[in-house]
Structures are given as structure tokens and as C-alpha cells.
Chains A and B, each alone.
Chain A
Amino acid sequence: MGGTQRPDASQVRRFEALALPHADAAYNLALRLTRQAEAAEDVVHDAFLNALTGLDEFRGGDARAWLLRIVRNRAYDWLRERKRKATTALALVTPDDPDQDLEFEFHDPDQESPEDALVRKGEAASLWAMIDTLPPRLREVLVLREMEEMSYREIADVTDAPIGSVMSRLARARDQLGEAMRRLRDQREGRA
């Protein structure tokens, strides 16, 4: 019954030392997957509490990869839940594979175009907006590789995918982001 018991104070302290240094990494990944600050906070909060409960399952090694895996799964739960609600609202047939159509995004009218974000906030925000036009499976490999500087092996562990898929997703993500950046540059030059 070890797994169902509540953690004691010394376990919580161990967890804090292990997990809190990775709060930024967790939030950054959650934010790029959910694309909403409030949802990202909820995802990280819930994921960390889940991780605390499952602390026994952490057998040493890379705490960041362990945590990001849990954060990622929680973020996908959130995406699926949102998708399910939207699908129900539109009275559409639920696809057999709940993951399948995560590749296709609803147009979010609240989301700014990269150009608007650039005008409003500068470089970082326009990059966010461009990353956010990619499907989540491409976004996450980009975040893990370029911002967390993880190896293909580590990304494969976090995203639960073979290394070959990690590589092909990374290549597609970079192509699509490169294309978005090129369009933006053209547009800027056109405006100037």
C-alpha cells in the first residue's frame, strides 16, 4: 500500500530539492504545449503533485527528464480534454485515436498572428507565436532540443517516441519554423 499513502515531510523535502530547480523547464514546456499561461500553471502544478505521489517510481538519474515526461503527459491530457469539449460542442464524431487529430489544430481566434506579436512585444513573443503555429508534437521536440538542450535519446524518453521519430519530427519542426521565420522576414521587408 506504499504507493497510495500520502508522502511524509522528508519525502516532500527530497522532492522539493529534486523538482523545484526544474520549475522553469516544466513551465516553458507546458506553456508551449497549452499556449495559455493559466493552463500551463495548472498543468505544472498538477504534474508536480502527481510526481510527488509517484516519487517512489523515480529511481535516480535525470530528474528533469522524469518531471518533463509527467508535465508533458499532463499537458496532453489538457489538450485532449479541450479537444473533447470542442468536439462535443460541435457534435462531431470522436476519432478512434484520441491522439490522432492533435496534429490538427483548431484556429484559435484569440491567438495573435506572429506579426501582431512582433509589433506588440518584440522578438521573443513573435518566436513564441511562430512556434505555436506548429502542431504540439513538433513544438515539444523543438522546445526540448533547442531550449532544454536535450539529446535525441532524452527527447525520445520524455516524448515516449523512438529516436527515428524524434529526428523526423525535429526536421519537420525546423522546416516549418524556418518557413514561418522567412515569411515574417519578407513581410517586415515589405513593410519597411
Chain B
Amino acid sequence: MDCAHDPLMIMALVDGELDAIHAAQTEAQIAACPSCAAEQARLLAQRNALRGDGVRAVAPSRLHARLAASLAEAAAQPPRVQPQPVAAIRRSRPWAWMGGGAGLAFAASAALFFAVGQVGQSRALTNELVASHVRSLQVAHLTDVATSDQHVVKPWFDGKLDFAPPVIELKPQGFPLVGGRMDYLGGRTVAAIVYQRGRHTINLFVWPDGRDDEGGRTRQDQGYGLRHWRAGGMTYWAVSDVNPADLALFEADLKARTGG
């Protein structure tokens, strides 16, 4: 610049860093001085170039997947505050000096405490399920094996899990199979089988828990629907933002095809 003006003022104007008075002064300078105007034009042209398409890099899906996996692993650590086990309360026997009635009442409240503990645990699980569902919807982390062919998804799981999740195509029923992936929930590796309902995604999380069959129940968490049932020694959680009736239908269709 061959004028006496401070180029930093022009830069600060272009960057929106001047107060009203200095901005007006600098604009007046630019209007009066061709070389100041050229400096401003140069800065704006450079800005246009740097804000053009594709100049700001986008995190690759591989990085998203890696972050999701590491964070899921971190989330699988036990919580800081563990509920005190009922057994510990029992051992201290604070009611031993009381009559039988009081002891019974305390036993009942201990049972209640236990039940509340269970609810808290399952609440933590539903939170994890929803978080995993949401993570899966991020770029390219939905499936590790993307195919609508159940005969591809099933063997893919076989090599990676110590159990065999049922992989069933439900396209005729309106739930096309999209693929599968490994996930980490409640401290163990689980199968996530991915279906679609219209434009919605359903994540079906499956792992063995060896407990008795149990009919499906729907609950809501953070705006997502979760449907849980047990069949054939496996526990199932379907998570999606489809309407709850669709999740019940999904369970019924799946059971009809697995004979569960």
C-alpha cells in the first residue's frame, strides 16, 4: 500500500472487529483511497476463496466410527456412585433389637430399595440404548456390514460373536433389513441388526441372557421408542423413532419368522 493508512484497520473492518466510530472512519478512508479499496477487495476475495465449497475439511466417516467406538467403550465403565447392595444393609442388621414387625417393615423397604435399584439400572441401559441408536445414525456408522441379504449378515456375526443372533429379512412385512454391526452395551458386546421402516431406522440390539421368555413392552426415552422382549434365551431391544405401534408390529413379525 502506498498510502499512509494502517492496513490493520482495514483488516479489522473486514473482520467485523471495529466499533461503529472506527468502522465509519475506516470506510471513509477506503472510499477516498484507491489503494485502501484494493486492500479491502483483496481480503474479501481471499475470504470468498477460503469459504468456497470443500475447502473446510469434513471429518471422515472412519474418524466418526472411531470416536463412537472409543466413547461407547468409555461409557460402558461402571458409574461412579454404585447403589449400596442390599446384602450390605442386611449384614449390619440395624433392626435386630426390634420386634419382628419392625424387622419385617425394614425387610419390605429393603425390597423396595432393591426394586428401585433395578429400575435405575434399566434406566441406565435404556439411556445407553438410545445413545447407541443416535450414534449409529451418524455418518456411516449405521452398519459394519451393509447388505439386505440375511445370508451375508448372519455369517458375518458368526465370526465375531460368541452367540448367534437371529438375522431375519422382514422386507415383505415392510421392515427391510439394512445390515448389522457390533456394538458395546452394558459392558458386553452385542449384535445390532439394522432395519428400516419407511425413512426411519430401527436398531435391534440382541444378546443372550438365558432368562425366561417375556412379552414385549414399549417405553419412551428422550423421544425414542424402545421395545423390549425376551425369547429363546436372548434379550431383544428395538430402538427407533417410528411410532410405538410399528415397534410392536416389528416384534410380532420377527417372532412369527423365528417361531419365537
Contacts and interface: CB of A to CB of B under 8 A. Distances in A.
A binds B: yes
Interface of A: 5-10, 12-13, 15-16, 20, 23-24, 26-28, 31-32, 37, 40-41, 44-45, 48-49, 52, 123-124, 127-128, 142, 145-147, 151-152, 167-168, 170-171, 174, 177-178, 181
B55 A27 contact: no
B17 A23 contact: no
Contact of B67 (A13, A23, A146, A174): A23
Given A41-B62, A45-B63, A152 B71 contact: no
Nearest to A2: B80
A74 to B, nearest CB: 14
Contact of B60 (A32, A37, A49, A152): A37
Contacts, number: 119
29 contacts: A6-B74, A8-B75, A9-B76, A9-B131, A10-B79, A12-B74, A13-B131, A16-B71, A20-B67, A20-B138, A23-B63, A23-B64, A23-B67, A27-B57, A37-B60, A41-B66, A45-B63, A48-B67, A48-B71, A124-B52, A124-B53, A127-B50, A145-B15, A146-B50, A147-B50, A151-B16, A167-B11, A174-B11, A181-B49
Given A45-B63, A128-B55, A178-B46, A7 B8 contact: no
B46 A177 contact: yes
Given A12-B131, A128-B57, A181-B46, 11 more contacts: A7-B77, A8-B77, A9-B75, A10-B127, A13-B75, A27-B57, A28-B57, A41-B62, A52-B74, A147-B50, A170-B11
A45 B67 contact: yes
Contacts of B59: 23-24, 26-27, 44
Using C-beta atoms within 8 Å of the partner chain, give the interface range for chain B: 35 or more
Interface in B84-131: 124, 127-128, 131
Contacts of B71: 12, 15-16, 48, 52
Contacts of B75: 7-9, 12-13
A48 B66 CA distance: 11
Contacts of A41: 60, 62-63, 66
B127 to A, nearest CB: 7
A181 B55 CA distance: 15
Contacts of A23: 59, 63-64, 67
Nearest to A49: B70
Contacts of A152: 15, 17
A32 B55 CA distance: 11
Interface of B: 7-8, 11-12, 15-17, 42-43, 46-47, 49-60, 62-64, 66-67, 70-71, 74-80, 124, 127-128, 131, 135, 138
B6 to A, nearest CB: 10
A16 B133 CA distance: 13
B80 A5 contact: yes
A58 to B, nearest CB: 16
Nearest to B54: A124
Nearest to B10: A171
